[in-house]
Amino acid sequence: MSNPRTELDPVIPRFCAQTGASLPLAWEFAWADQPDEAVVRPTPPPCPVPSKQGKRRMFLEGLVPLFAPRRRYPETEVNDILREVHPDVAALRRYLVEERLLMRADGHYWRP
Domain of 21? 6-110
Mean pLDDT of 74-97: 93
Q: Is 27 inside any structural domain? A: yes
Give percent of the chain above pLDDT 90. Answer: 43
H helix runs in the chain, sequence order:
11-19, 53-63, 75-83, 89-98
- Beta carbons within 8 Å of 23's beta carbon, 6+ residues apart: 12, 13, 16, 17
Q: Is residue 53 part of a domain?
A: yes
**pLDDT by residue (tens digit) across 9-28?**
455 555 565 555 544 333 33
Tell whether 1 is covered by a domain: no
Count the domains in the chain: 1
**Residue 85: which region, alpha, beta or left (left: phi > 0; alpha: psi -120 to 50)?**
alpha
Higher pLDDT, 37 or 79: 79
Distances, alpha carbon 100 to alpha carbons 10, 11, 51, 82, 111, in Å: 26, 22, 18, 16, 9
pTM of the full structure: 0.62
- The DSSP bridge partners found for residue 69 are 111
The whole-number pLDDT of residue 25 equals 34
